Structure 1
Amino acid sequence: MGFDKLSTPPSLHSPDTLLRRAVSAAHGQPFVVALPPETHPYHRARRDLLRPHDPCLVVGDAETGLSATLKALARYAIDREVDGLAILMADMPFITASHLETLATLFETFGTTRIVRAQCQSGREGYPVIFPAALLPEFETLSGDDGVQVLLERHGVKRMEMPSESPCLHVNTPEDWRQM
């Protein structure tokens, strides 16, 4: 089965997981957690970490790449007629509710018409990224493991510098998680 970085605590002494941290960062904002299909080996462990009232979106074709999840999230947002969609990667443990609130405020400043993105103190681009509702249909053009980069390049981005490297720190291995 391998290592599921989103549902594995960093040590026996910490019950924290990446998925719980991401849900905590979204606290106070409408959110949905994208999960792999019920037949996927990680589905149950991830679902069990969530509270009963946490909304979930099962992505049936998640194995085809990140684009499947992004498309499903865009459709979910379109169906709910929201002003925008914030993409928060669950493998980035130091993103907080404050980061998301700061970006949401900037997004609203531009009348919910511009893409806004967190930028690390070093100048690197990070997450979250918020997309205006008008651009969500374009997610259907994504394929494979293409992320949102093509849309960012096409439409331009308003960056908000954060006072740390938190929006750029990813966990890729069990060792990364333990060291953080």
Structure 2
Amino acid sequence: MLRVGAIVLAAGQSRRMGSAKQFLPLRGKPLFRHAVERAAACQLSPILLIGGEHSERLRQLTRDLPEVEVLDNREYATGMASSLRRGMEAVAGRVDAVLVFLADQPYVPDQVVQSLIQTYADHRAEGVKIVRPIYQNTAGHPVLFDAALLGEFTCVTGDQGGKDIIDKYKSHLKKVRFARADWNLDIDTPDDYCRVQQAILAEPCE
């Protein structure tokens, strides 16, 4: 049986939002919990939640989820890559593959996660090492990486995340297409947050 883990990136500084967006209330819970609970519902293990300056608050808000490990990224100010490095180091040797989630994307459904894992299971023997969702025509998250690539993340820097690795191993990439563009929604700015509340939740924007 495949061992598939999850890394949820929640250490961003939310500069465009102006406050810590991972804690914005959305459907009765902090924004980051949507990605964490999706990973838990899909029985991914381990689930590593990468925090920065707000790591302790993340711990407090996940006390009811013993399967979640909150890891500190003391280099969070240098960009997303530092969180990826932290997560990949911690998951090495524990999984066959790992899915990287963004804490500001609350609408990724179980269907996407399960399709990515199934695609990996079906094609790994052919050399597939990365599986990425395409929402309509836009690449998105979560992205699945084979354990053989975890060491590649020791060299990533800045805010590029895994883009360079995906480009380097594009011949080992499998794309899974979905018709729903809204599953790829992320929340970066106050306008994004208002738009999500109004259009999707039918809630008034404060």
- TM bucket (normalised to shorter chain) is 0.7 to 0.9
* Equivalent pair of 1:7/1:45 in contact (CA under 8 Å): no
RMSD: 1.8
Where do 1:108-123 residues align within 5 Å? Answer: 108-111=121-124, 113-121=128-136, 123=137
* Equivalent pair of 2:109/2:183 in contact (CA under 8 Å): no
Alignment counterpart, residue 74 of structure 1, candidates 72, 84, 88: 88
Extract unaligned runs of 5+ from structure 2: 1-12, 197-206
* Equivalent pair of 1:24/1:96 in contact (CA under 8 Å): no
- The equivalent residue for 1:15 is 28
Note the C-alpha offset of 1:51. Answer: 2.9
- The equivalent residue for 1:29 is 44
| In structure 2, distance between residues paired with 1:140 and 1:75 | 8
- The equivalent residue for 1:149 is 163
- The equivalent residue for 1:84 is 97
| In structure 1, distance between residues paired with 2:189 and 2:35 | 17
Secondary structure of 2:29's partner?
Answer: coil
Q: Does 1:131 align with 2:145?
A: yes
* Equivalent pair of 1:7/1:49 in contact (CA under 8 Å): no
> Which residue identity lines up with residue 50 of structure 1 in the other structure?
T
Q: Does 1:103 align with 2:119?
A: no
* Equivalent pair of 1:120/1:167 in contact (CA under 8 Å): yes
* Equivalent pair of 2:130/2:166 in contact (CA under 8 Å): yes
| In structure 2, distance between residues paired with 1:4 and 1:99 | 27
* Equivalent pair of 2:131/2:175 in contact (CA under 8 Å): yes
- The equivalent residue for 1:51 is 63
Extract unaligned runs of 5+ from structure 1: none
| In structure 1, distance between residues paired with 2:36 and 2:108 | 10
Secondary structure of 1:100's partner?
Answer: helix
TM-score by length of 2: 0.76
Note the C-alpha offset of 1:178. Answer: 2.9
| In structure 1, distance between residues paired with 2:71 and 2:184 | 25
Counting strand residues as a fraction of each chain, which structure ranks higher?
2
Q: Does 1:177 align with 2:183?
A: no
Moved segments of 4+, more than 4 Å:
none
Q: Does 1:5 align with 2:21?
A: yes
